[in-house]
Structure 1
Amino acid sequence: MSRPEADPRIPFPHTDARLACRTEPSWFVQEHGQMSNADDRARIERARTACRGCPIAADCLKWALANPELTPTGVWAATISRERKALRRRLQARHGLDWVGVIAQADRAREQARLNRARPSAPDPAPAASAMWTSHYEPWREPLTPGRQQRNRELLNQT
């Protein structure tokens, strides 16, 4: 029997931070039915508490949800297998059978938006006049007749 492959659309999260799952892996072991005694519950609660402060917990949960064959047991991002199964069912009901693809595409779009915000945009070489000046001035739309020109001259001469 071959080992299942991880879904490449959701990469395994990486960090250089010291994580409890690396320093205390025994806290994160949870087999089916291992919530019966107080010691198991306390150990799993320690793991959940450590996950809640983890900088990559959200990405860890996405990876664990996307790879059920690789995470059938254990505590992953403060969840146990029963909770992950329920989350997968909800994601499938909300996004369809390819919910992993939907989540991966949303992640890529968020990352692209973040990169676009971080990249300084070049200044517009010739900003539009309307952007530089705002006015409620409406140009005269009637033709300037000789009679109107004469009336305007008279008004100017009065001052």
Structure 2
Amino acid sequence: MSCRTTPHLFDPRRADEGIAPSRRRYERAREICAVCPALAPCRSWAMTVPTTALGGLLPNERLAPKIAR
């Protein structure tokens, strides 16, 4: 699995989507990112896109003060 084959996992939470399903979806996205060979460049790019789970980080994590990752 990859973000290219399951892009819906990385989408922002929909208005009609509950918190628990959204959290499970984002956790699955993180699992995919964790084993991706492109994680470093993807995460660098994701830091510029504040609306979805990219680079293994949720939007609030990308916008939080930079800490060692």
TM-score under structure 1 length normalisation? 0.37
Counterpart mapping for 1:5-154 below 5 A? 20-31=2-13, 37-65=19-47, 67=48, 71-86=49-64, 89-90=65-66
Structure 1: segments with no counterpart, 5+ residues: 1-18, 92-159
Shift of 1:32: 8.6
**Which consecutive aligned stretches of 4+ in structure 1 deviate over 4 angstroms post-superposition?**
none
Structure 2: segments with no counterpart, 5+ residues: none
How many positions carry a matched residue from both structures? Answer: 66
Structure with higher helix content? 1
Percent sequence identity is 36
Aligned alpha-carbon RMSD (Å): 2.4
Query: Which structure carries more relative contact order (alpha carbon 8 Å, separation 6+)?
Result: 2
8 A Cα contact 1:64 1:76, kept in partner = yes
